Amino acid sequence: MTGEKDGYVRVTAPAEMEGMLARLSQPGGASLQLDVEDSRLLPVLVVEQVPGDYLSLDISAIREVASALRRGAAFRLLGQSRDQMLRTPPLVMSECHEQEGRLLCQCQYPTSLEVLQRRSSFRARLRLGMEVGAIVRGSDSEPPLQGDLKDLSLEGCQLELPLSSAGWLSAAESVEIELCFLNGVRFTLRAEPRHCLADTERQALRAGMRFVASSGDQERQLWHFVREIERESARQGESSDSSLLPSLLFQTDLAASAPVSRRNISRYATPMAKRLARIAGYLDAQLLEIQEGGQLDAVQLSSFADRLLGLHAEDSEALLFATRCLYNEPQLVRHGLGVAVHMLDLATAGSLPRDARKAMAACAMVHDLGKALLPTELLEAPDWDDERQQALHVHVDVMRERLGACHWLAPGVVEAVVVRINERLDGSGYPAKLSGETLGELTRLASVVDVVEAMRRDRPDRPAWKIGDIYRYLLSHPAQFDSRWVKRYLKHFGVMPIGTLVRFPGGELGWVQRLDSGGRLAQVQLTDRPAPPGESLGDVLRGERLKRLGEVAEVLRVSF
């Protein structure tokens, strides 16, 4: 490294630069910014780097700047890599061409990178499975609270505690926090509660803490924990770094006492469900950002939409089943992922371009997150009068505004999937009571998928519906739902969609996991009870073993 420039440190070591650029090569990891005043960040994909020679970039999502780049307009690549903000010096495109529908460009390989260290404010977020317990102590007269560490920085941390602790915590001026790592390490320091955010659905409280009066030794120890959390997160990430050894902090010491936790870490029924849970974790974090008044990060949303498309391309049926396995995540997250995956699967059967499918999936994932700002009594209301329905409309405006910075999303897709998904053909929907021909094909598709997903899950005012009853309801209301899309949904997913629980004549219970081209059962996984897919799952049956069970005797309703 060499000298600093407005907070940035210049990196020239070839190996170090190559590693940093490799991390920017992940989907959503890099942005392009024209080297002119007030230019905005644009999504770009670094598809190849040849050290010392060139970088190859995919600018298909930002074709509007291609002409400027061809004319020699200078630009920078920017991104965030772990605890660092990275940027290149000004670069210029040397060539630009179409290849299999993608717009690819080349530019010279940068001679250096500029790195901004942001350690003091950087928060190391714990991934699913990285369990760190927390004990919060106040006065001697109050019993201690037990919870989970969610993120950690040199300045403070965020804890997840039982919802019942809200009153106790709001009255405390300062508390003692003891962090309990899996390997038995315990670390104690004092903190001041800064904010609390209740999640009534999960019966949890997110509490932000600011550390006070930390000694030099405590700060050095905190710095060690932040680095280890960050390193373990990188090792376990979607693009895991196999060169990193596991952190000892997260290796269970059998001789140590059991770690403290508000609840057990979720176990997932299938490997695909575990991978989908990483996207659910991102959406869960976005719920918190929205509740705290934050915006959706355009780069992160792009990255996780790419991940979802990648999982679907890898094994669409396993992904459809995985949406039925995330029963411990917030309902808004589960619903958004269910709508996104089923819309994606239905749209993939046609000829929709990848960029359009990505935008559609991204919008579907987040379309309902604005409901996190609505009062619980409104969401749990058994009926909807005009006043309540008007209050419900707020969540649409919230998400429209939060998506304002996501310039890579086509405005038409945002309008169709986020803004109009609750409209109905007869004008009985919301927020604008649009009807008939004003509702395009994508809105008609989205509204059918949204209602099916909502009716397949429990709601405070009613239990989940059986899939057959849902089909009958939609087909009997052609004035509200486009019958063409209802029939397409039924034909595509079948009368026993993946994720349906069925009973066979001999009493065996099985989850539908795969169907053949005719919509008949091709694979089921046995279970010993009518509960969401989890530890009760048993043998996977297909072929002759599945045929021996006979025809399905009953389709069951399961609470999710």
In this structure, is the dihedral angle defined by the CA atoms of residues 545, 550, 551 and 555, taken in order, positive or negative? Answer: negative
Q: State the average pLDDT for the chain.
A: 85
> Tell me, what's the pLDDT at 255?
46
* Residue range 48-95, pLDDT digits in tens: 999 989 999 999 888 889 999 999 999 999 876 555 678 899 999 999
- Kindly state the average pLDDT of the residues 443-459: 94
pTM of the model: 0.58
- Kindly state the average pLDDT of the residues 482-498: 96
260 falls in which pLDDT band (50, 70, 90)? Answer: low
Asked whether residue 258 carries a pLDDT value surpassing 60, the answer given is no
Query: What are the b/e assignments for 14-26, b being 16+ CB within 10 Å?
Result: eeebeebbebbbb
* Residue range 282-304, pLDDT digits in tens: 888 788 778 777 778 788 899 89
Structure tokens at 149: 């560490």
Residues in CB range of 451: below 8 A, 6 or more apart: 470, 474, 481
* Residue range 354-390, pLDDT digits in tens: 999 999 999 999 999 998 888 776 776 666 667 767 7
Contact between 423 and 430 under an 8 Å Cβ cutoff? The reply is yes
SS (H, E, C) 448-496: HHHHHHHHCCCECCECCCCHHHHHHHHHCCCCCCCHHHHHHHHHHHCCC
> Tell me, what's the pLDDT at 382?
65
CA angle 421, 422, 423 (to 5 degrees): 95
> Tell me, what's the pLDDT at 381?
67
> Tell me, what's the pLDDT at 83?
55
> Tell me, what's the pLDDT at 257?
47
Sheet holding 8-11, edge to edge: 4-5, 8-11, 113-117, 84-87, 75-81, 30-34, 42-50, 54-58, 102-108, 93-99
* Residue range 130-175, pLDDT digits in tens: 889 899 998 776 778 888 999 998 889 999 988 778 778 877 889 9
487 falls in which pLDDT band (50, 70, 90)? Answer: very high
CA atoms within 13 A on the CB side of 123: 15
Residues in CB range of 64: below 8 A, 6 or more apart: none
